[in-house]
Amino acid sequence: DIQMTQSPSTLSASVGDRVTITCRASESFSKWVAWYQQKPGKAPHLLIYKASNLESGVPSRFSGSGSGTEFTLTISSLQPDDFATYYCQQYNTYPWTFGQGTKVEIK
Amino acid sequence: QVQLVESGGGVVQPGRSLRLSCAASGFPLRDYGMHWVRQAPGKGLEWVALISYDGTNISFGDSVRGRFTISRDNSKNTLWLQMDSLRPEDTALYYCARGDRGLDSWGQGTLVIVSS
């Protein structure tokens, strides 16, 4: 199985900060990575698919990049609504696997 | 709009079975691969299973393979997850989700508690 290791586990940031979350895969593959946002008590919400494609309706301050074994999610200017937990997921190979999550907290 | 509604969760003893359902509306279920994803209390997301749009391709996560079965009836717009030989570590909120390029729509989940 492909393991997805996300870092950091927790991130403290302020409104307006640029934030980057990294996911490293245990083996190399192309761009089949998605990123999700989850708020407490809610289902996850797709932000990015195919590593860098922005899901419809998602603000443009979110962006994704990477290929091979390293993938990143960047929030260009953190907004109050962005404090949440973020997960990467690979869908290159079954079983699909998630990273362990990154909680973005208010500094 | 796209809607996924899970049901069938509850409290069950270890070793017993439970069947979850997911009712889909607002889109043609026959066009999409469908998944189950779970989240243990306070923990991260765990992908559980996939069934392809026509039911011919099925895959499971390592922790449930051999114990869980996934099925669908496109004419009834319904997805199921049959869970047998349940263990305490299967306790989680179970989501059904749609997607072939990541999971673009999710239900609100149904809670399964495995406890004696």
Q: What is the mean pLDDT of chain B?
A: 97
- Is A49 within 8 Å of B107 when comparing Cβ atoms? no
Q: Does A36 touch chain B (CB under 8 A)?
A: yes
Distance, in Å, from the CA atom of A101 to the CA atom of A37, rounded to the nearest integer, reads 9
- Is A87 within 8 Å of B45 when comparing Cβ atoms? yes
Residues of A in contact with B60 (CB under 8 A): 95
Q: Is the pLDDT of residue B101 over 90?
A: no
Q: Tell me the shortest Cα–Cα distance from A73 to chain B, in angstroms.
A: 15
Residue of B62, B103, B106 lying closest to A1 (CB–CB): B62
The answer to whether the CB of B115 falls within 8 A of the CB of B11 is yes
Q: Is the pLDDT of residue A68 over 90?
A: yes
Can you read off the two tokens belonging to residue B108? 């609100």
Residues of B in contact with A45 (CB under 8 A): 106
Secondary structure (3-state) at B113: strand
Going by pLDDT thresholds of 50, 70 and 90, the confidence category of residue A107 is confident
Residue B100 pLDDT: 79
Residue of B44, B50, B101 lying closest to A94 (CB–CB): B50
Question: How does strand A10-13 pair with strand B110-114?
Answer: unpaired
Alpha helices by DSSP H, chain A: none
Q: Is the pLDDT of residue A30 over 90?
A: no
Average pLDDT over residues A44-60: 97
For the segment B25-46, what is each residue's pLDDT rounded down to a tens digit? 999 999 999 999 999 999 999 9
Average pLDDT over residues B76-92: 98
Q: Is the pLDDT of residue B60 over 90?
A: yes
Average pLDDT over residues B60-69: 97
Average pLDDT over residues B76-103: 96
Assess whether the previous peptide bond of A8 is cis (omega < 30° from 0): yes
What residue in B sits closest to A34 (Cα-Cα)?
A: B102
Going by pLDDT thresholds of 50, 70 and 90, the confidence category of residue B56 is very high
For the segment A81-90, what is each residue's pLDDT rounded down to a tens digit? 999 999 999 9
Q: Does A84 touch chain B (CB under 8 A)?
A: no
The residue type found at B116 is S
Residue A106 pLDDT: 87
Residue B16 pLDDT: 98
Q: Is the pLDDT of residue B73 over 90?
A: yes
- Is A96 within 8 Å of B101 when comparing Cβ atoms? no
